[in-house]
Amino acid sequence: MPDSAVAPPSEDPPPGLRAWRTAGLAAAVFAIDPRGLGGVVLRAQVGPVRTRWTALLKALLPADLPVRRVPAGISDDRLIGGLDLTATLRSGKPVAEKGLLAEADGGVLVLAMAERLSPAAAARIALTLDSGEVAVERDGLAARLPARFGVVAEDEGLADEAPPVVLTERLGLFLDLERLSLRDLVELPLDAEKVAAARALLSRVEVGEGTLEALCGTAVALGIASLRAPLRALRAACALAALSGRTEVEDADVETAAALVLAPRATRVPMSAQPNEPEEETPPSESEPSPEEPRDDSDAGESSEPDLSDRVLEAAAAAISRGLLDKLKLAGQGPRGTQTAGTAGVAKLSLRRGRPIGAHAGRPRPGVRLNLVETLRAAAPWQRLRRPGTTGQTGARIAIRAEDFRVTRFKQRSETATIFAVDASGSTAFNRLAEAKGAVELLLADCYVRRDQVALLAFRGSTAELLLPPTRSLVRTKRALAALPGGGGTPLAAGIDAAAGLGIDLLRRGITPLLVFLTDGQANIARDGQPGRPQAREDAEAAARRLANQRLTALLIDTSARPNEKARSLAAVMEALYLPLPQADARKLDAAVRATLAG
Amino acid sequence: MSSAAKRLAFPFPAIVGQEEMRQALLISAVDPGIGGVLVFGDRGTGKSTTIRALAALLPEQQVILGCPYGCDPATPQGLCPVCEPADPAHGHEHLKPKVAKVPVPVVDLPLGVTEDRVVGALNLERALTHGEKAFEPGLLARANRGFLYIDEVNLLEDHIVDLLLDVAASGENLVEREGLSVRHPARFVLIGSGNPEEGELRPQLLDRFGLSVEVTTPEDLDTRIEVVRRRDNFERDPAAFCEVWAKDSDKLRRRLLSARKKLKGVEVSEAAYRRAATLCVSLGTDGLRGELTLVRAARALAALEGKAAVSDDHLRRIAPSALRHRLRRDPLDEAGSGVRVERALGEVFAA
């Protein structure tokens, strides 16, 4: 154990206390080697627990270390740097301004509300983490500035919100403080001097043979694809050794490192350590190597220490508490899950900024933003003429006239999401569900070309269900579609309501929704879930009317064997385009969607 | 240049596995006309590392001293406004330009780049302080005769992508802004990397890449260990690590040079052309670009291996990189286009 007072002792402490000790240890490891660890994902709401942890970390870091806070809506100007307009205007010559990435060099970059960070900003930070420098190519400036830092990503997200994976993939530590209470926050025997001593020792820490094998093998056994994870775990093991004042990594360091770095990234639980047994009472150091081989694809570890890999795996597995795995997968930590996170950010960004289509001479007015740099460029060649009497640069201010004004126009990126609302009720299921699925697939191919998002909801039985929130992943859509069950009543009103609700929600996020209904228009379940055709019909029409009032664009594909008057009239109430499926071949569907979008 | 710019790159020969990516990058260095490389795939597979390693591997090239576009002294005439004589009738062919040997430019196009830095713009400093209207070349100028690298290429803003597409197609950069009118050569090998989970690449941009490579995390434990071991050793002491690999790097560099010399002499037989055409027909690739790229890349591969002629084996090995991104994308085919190329290869080469 690196520190008997910090690491889990052999008796069984309450889970909260254990988690807090782990959090303290993580803070120390990060403070020893911020850049080597990459960073910490700190999952916690604003509150005393997070405040205490942040204070703890701050106390462990050197006092003169730069710490920069990045708000979620950060602009490229502030993040990367650019022209300092005030200084430029004052001095009469270009003055560069550092961005937060360069300002954080040698220190820590704190991301506030990292789950709201746009994928673009996350990618910029991620690439800076990789290269340790920031390339500024903006506003006529070109520079490469050192930017070596560790990241603290504050994640306040709910279940379906998580910081962008491009970033979290590079952060070694993951802390979940959500379930901690004030009572758990005991004093931890960590002090800045000890951490400083460890930092000084770090470069001399040796890694023995077998350590790599153990960490790589454990990563594989836990279903962690990326090779960054074992590399970060290795760094953590070195930091832990240094924290104990050693220059040699011991097995206990490796076990703790695996628990800190690898366990939170697990996408599967190894066979020998199913966590449905009460797992909290098994501290890593005491867990015995399991008799059966936990991995079948491993041939490492046989060389030097046959049981280190097993013990590291046990330690990691023990650190995976029940339910955590599912939560992590939801949060997009798994190797394939990422789609929901961040899309909202993109949408908002594009709503605010759209796609610049160049700067033009013109006056700023609402919706048209003054482009200061271009304005400056326009004014620059005239400066001498505009300063009669003074020749050359006397530090005079820049004379800008109205004709210099340049404005940036933004073309609103028309981001579209197509919501498929599929009638999967009995009548349709028996007749045309397969064909309806085929029609959706055709439309999907079209959505791919237009880079649209796609959402899928189905209504059957008594309710409507969102099978797939808006996504760009066609593979996921296809999977959801294939798994779409059929049968039961037709709660048409519920289906229309759900689609309209999602549509409104998307509109609010700056995305243009297109609703595509696949139904035969036969309703037999009313809004209240009760069967009965007349009421069901009435409710469906009311829902359709409301949809029309909300000005949502819709397309109704009639899935009846022959064009059905009920479906046609429902489309009319919805003010939707009506298309009977018998004619709905690929080209017609495509044309219909295009026409609907254009209209 | 700060000291950061001189930071040592991971040695190219020390890259473990990722055969297809290494092959594609080397081929683009042998024949820059192939149209660049797109590297798409899993996170943490060393995409970026490998591309930066290539930059360090490339042999130096001759340029006209003082030319902002790095013009080739062997063929100084062209579009560059600096090297081109103002009046062709009184050309200064008697004036031999001064020549320097410099590293091949490998220019990063960082995310967040602004348009003025990509294409070039009025030099603000000189305009503000001296009232001069001078053109400040942008990244496209710097990348001329070299490589332009975009990490996370699928996250690049659309208007910057449009600029690139325009210039990559024509090989020259035309700037009309702030009363400036400049035209200069901008021929570069476009290298892009990214992760498809961050978003799909626009079809127009996809088509612009000559070769496309899919990288995945190695499954084999020993390989994974070796990757992590080498990376760790490099990070602990880059200089020592590079020293260990210096000989291999030199050897590979010489191979590259010799391949470039051999390239023109590599024979493509009638049968090889036929094979390439049959393959493209059976895959239904649009246009002739796929076929052309396939043949050119196979030729470069042959040159790289010191062979005098393109063999079936060369075609076969390069076909997935040259063709997979040119298939009509069927988003619902879960097998992926790589598998489809393999299938077609099996059929065509079995015949």
**Model confidence pLDDT, tens digit, residues B274-324:** 999 998 888 877 668 888 999 999 999 999 999 999 999 999 999 999 998
Residue A119: list chain B partners with CB under 8 A.
155, 198-199
- Map tokens 């017609």 to a residue: A588
Sheet holding B146-151, edge to edge: B106-108, B146-151, B188-194, B37-41, B211-215
Which residues does B41 contact at the CB level (< 8 Å), separation at least 6? B47, B195, B196, B213, B214, B215, B216
Spatial contact of A518 and A564, defined as CB atoms under 8 Å apart? no
- Map tokens 């569900």 to a residue: A433
| B residues 39-98 closer than 8 Å to A (CB) | 42-46, 48
Q: Do A225 and B44 touch (CB under 8 A)?
A: yes
Spatial contact of A173 and A30, defined as CB atoms under 8 Å apart? yes
Q: Which of A135, A165, A203 sits opposite B110 (nearest CB)?
A: A135
Instruction: Give the span between the Cα atoms of B220 and B45, in whole angstroms.
Output: 13
Residue A18 confidence (pLDDT) = 84
Nearest CA in chain A to B331: A445
Which residues does A583 contact at the CB level (< 8 Å), separation at least 6? none
| pLDDT: which is higher, B333 or B169 | B169
Q: Do B124 and A140 touch (CB under 8 A)?
A: yes
Token pair, residue B261, equals 């010399």
Residue B85 confidence (pLDDT) = 61
Instruction: Give the span between the Cα atoms of A206 and A248, in whole angstroms.
Output: 5
Q: What is the pLDDT of residues A211-247, one digit of tens each?
A: 999 999 899 888 888 899 999 999 999 999 999 999 9
Residue B123 confidence (pLDDT) = 85
In which element (H, E) is residue A193 found? helix A192-201
Q: What angle do CA A129, A135, A139 make, to 5 degrees?
A: 140
For A71, other C-beta atoms within 10 Å of its C-beta total: 14
* C-alpha closest to that of A515 among A486, A543, A490: A543
Q: From residue A33, give the alpha-carbon distance in Å to each of A88, A111, B302.
A: 38, 18, 47
Q: Which of A134, A234, A478 sits opposite B232 (nearest CB)?
A: A234
* C-alpha closest to that of B203 among B91, B47, B83, B38: B38
* C-alpha closest to that of A287 among A297, A302, A301, A277: A277
Token pair, residue B339, equals 């598998």
* C-alpha closest to that of B50 among B107, B8, B105, B11: B11
Say if A591 is an interface residue toward chain B (CB within 8 Å). no
pLDDT of B246 over the 90 cut? yes
Is residue B230 part of the annotated active site? The answer reads no
Q: How many Å is the Cα radius of gyration of chain B?
A: 21
* C-alpha closest to that of A203 among A244, A235, A171, A250: A235
pLDDT over 70 percentage in chain B: 89
- Map tokens 């929901």 to a residue: A340
Instruction: Give the span between the Cα atoms of B188 and B167, in whole angstroms.
Output: 10
Transcribe B90-117 into DSSP letters: G--TTSPPPEEEEPPPEEE--TT--HHH
Instruction: Give the span between the Cα atoms of A59 and B240, in whole angstroms.
Output: 36
Q: Do B224 and A448 touch (CB under 8 A)?
A: no
Residue B335 confidence (pLDDT) = 54
| B residues 251-270 closer than 8 Å to A (CB) | none
Nearest CA in chain B to A387: B131
Average pLDDT over residues B31-47: 89
Nearest CA in chain A to B156: A120
Q: Which residues pair with B188 in a beta bridge?
A: B146
Residue B196: list chain A partners with CB under 8 A.
none
Report the largest interatomic distance among the alpha carbons of chain A, rounded to a whole angstrom: 92
Q: Are strands A453-460 and A416-423 parallel, antiparallel or unpaired?
A: parallel
Eight-class DSSP state of B62? E
Residue A413: list chain B partners with CB under 8 A.
158
- Set B289, B326, B328, B340: catalytic member: B289
Residue A341 confidence (pLDDT) = 30
Say if A224 is an interface residue toward chain B (CB within 8 Å). no
Secondary structure class of B320 (helix, strand, coil): helix
Spatial contact of A324 and A96, defined as CB atoms under 8 Å apart? no
Q: How many Å is the Cα radius of gyration of chain A?
A: 29
Mean pLDDT of chain A: 77
Say if A399 is an interface residue toward chain B (CB within 8 Å). no
Residue A209 confidence (pLDDT) = 76
Mean pLDDT of chain B: 85
| A residues 333-372 closer than 8 Å to B (CB) | 335-336, 338-339, 355-358
Regions of chain A with pLDDT less than 70: 1-12, 159-160, 269-306, 320-360, 363-369, 387-396, 409-414, 427-432, 442, 445-451, 474-475, 582-599
First to last CA, chain A: 68
Q: Do A378 and B178 touch (CB under 8 A)?
A: yes
| pLDDT: which is higher, B261 or A352 | B261
Residue A212: list chain B partners with CB under 8 A.
225, 228-229, 232
Residue A332 confidence (pLDDT) = 35
Instruction: Give the span between the Cα atoms of A257 and A316, in whole angstroms.
Output: 8
Instruction: Give the span between the Cα atoms of A374 and B206, in whole angstroms.
Output: 32
pLDDT of B86 over the 70 cut? no
Residue A241 confidence (pLDDT) = 96
Q: Do A138 and B1 touch (CB under 8 A)?
A: no
Eight-class DSSP state of B50? H
User: What are the backbone dihedrals phi and psi of residue A301, each rounded to the nearest 5 degrees, phi first?
Assistant: 85, -15
Spatial contact of B325 and B210, defined as CB atoms under 8 Å apart? no
Span of A170-179, A261-270, B59-68, B72-81 with lowest mean pLDDT: B72-81
Q: Do A144 and B5 touch (CB under 8 A)?
A: yes
Q: Which residues of B265-297 are buried (b: 16+ CB within 10 A; e: fewer)?
A: ebebeeebeebbebbbeebebeeebbbbbbbbb
Predicted complex ipTM: 0.74
Instruction: Give the span between the Cα atoms of A268 and A357, in whole angstroms.
Output: 47
Q: What is the distance in angstroms between the Cα of A56 and the nearest Cα belonging to chain B?
A: 28
User: What are the backbone dihedrals phi and psi of residue A186, each rounded to the nearest 5 degrees, phi first?
Assistant: -75, 165
Mutation test of the interface with chain B: which of A78, A134, A224, A227, choosing the one with the most B Cβ atoms within 10 A?
A227
Instruction: Give the span between the Cα atoms of A470 and A460, in whole angstroms.
Output: 20
Q: Which of B112, B157, B200 sits opposite A80 (nearest CB)?
A: B112
Q: What is the distance in angstroms between the Cα of A150 and the nearest Cα belonging to chain B?
A: 16
Instruction: Give the span between the Cα atoms of A136 and A246, in whole angstroms.
Output: 41
pLDDT of B234 over the 60 cut? yes
Mutation test of the interface with chain B: which of A216, A299, A385, choosing the one with the most B Cβ atoms within 10 A?
A216
Q: Which of B110, B159, B178 sits opposite A357 (nearest CB)?
A: B159
Residue A329 confidence (pLDDT) = 36
A-B Cβ pairs (cutoff 8 Å, strict): 205
Token pair, residue B87, equals 């009046």
Instruction: Give the span between the Cα atoms of A549 and A504, in whole angstroms.
Output: 12
Instruction: Give the span between the Cα atoms of A240 and A223, in whole angstroms.
Output: 24
Q: Do A226 and B44 touch (CB under 8 A)?
A: yes
Instruction: Give the span between the Cα atoms of B210 and A331, in whole angstroms.
Output: 37
Residue A73 confidence (pLDDT) = 79
Token pair, residue A243, equals 């924290």
| B residues 285-304 closer than 8 Å to A (CB) | none
Residue A430 confidence (pLDDT) = 54
Q: What angle do CA A316, A317, A319 make, to 5 degrees?
A: 65
Eight-class DSSP state of B78? S
Say if A305 is an interface residue toward chain B (CB within 8 Å). no
Spatial contact of A531 and A525, defined as CB atoms under 8 Å apart? yes
Token pair, residue A86, equals 């005030």
Token pair, residue B150, equals 């975009």
| A residues 129-158 closer than 8 Å to B (CB) | 130, 132-142, 144-146
pLDDT of B334 over the 70 cut? no
Instruction: Give the span between the Cα atoms of A406 and A401, in whole angstroms.
Output: 11
Token pair, residue A89, equals 């205007």
Residue A431 confidence (pLDDT) = 58
Q: What is the pLDDT of residues A438-472, one digit of tens each?
A: 777 767 766 666 667 888 898 988 888 888 888 77
